[in-house]
Amino acid sequence: MIDRYLDRGTMYAIFDDDLRAVCVVTDEGEGVLELKNLAVSPAHQKKGYGRAMLEFLQKEYRGKFHTLQLGTGDSPLTVPFYEKCGFIRSHVVKNFFTDNYDHPIIECGILLQDMVYFKKEL
């Protein structure tokens, strides 16, 4: 999936002796910036790197875009994180994971099917 948008996106990374977090954002038009991917190294999760990346993006793009949106699986790992960071549910893309991946995506024992979109005003 990353190959579908990397060439039109901007990648950011946090290094602190080693790679801690990485993300890609894309301009979706009409003032909407989309976070396409946010990954934190497993050894560094729950240490604030994901939140720091989101705060950086909001500061970097405030005034250039009006909305930061993202899509994620309806997982107990990711949904609470984005909600704690101030994102609100926007819409759902039915069967996104089952239609776009050739293998099941499972998080916390849950088969991901739909993509849940969140947004936050910048």
Name the nearest CA neighbour of 41 among 55, 68, 21, 58: 21
What pLDDT score was predicted for residue 7?
78
Structural domain boundaries enclosing 44: 2-121
What integer pLDDT is reported at residue 36 of this predicted model? 93
CATH number at residue 88: 3.40.630.30
Max CA distance (Å), the chain = 40
- Taking a C-beta distance cutoff of 8 angstroms, is the pair 46, 11 a contact? no
pLDDT at 66: 98
In DSSP notation, 9-63 reads: EEEEEEESSSEEEEEEEEEEETTEEEEEEEEE-GGGTTSSHHHHHHHHHHHHHBT
**How confident is the model at residue 26, as a pLDDT?**
96
- pTM, rounded to two decimals: 0.89
* The total number of structural domains that make up the chain: 1
pLDDT tens string, the chain, 122 residues long: the values are: 566 666 789 999 999 999 999 999 999 999 999 999 899 999 999 999 999 999 999 999 999 999 999 999 999 989 999 999 999 999 999 999 999 999 999 998 999 999 999 999 99
Q: Which uninterrupted H or E stretch holds 71? A: strand 67-73
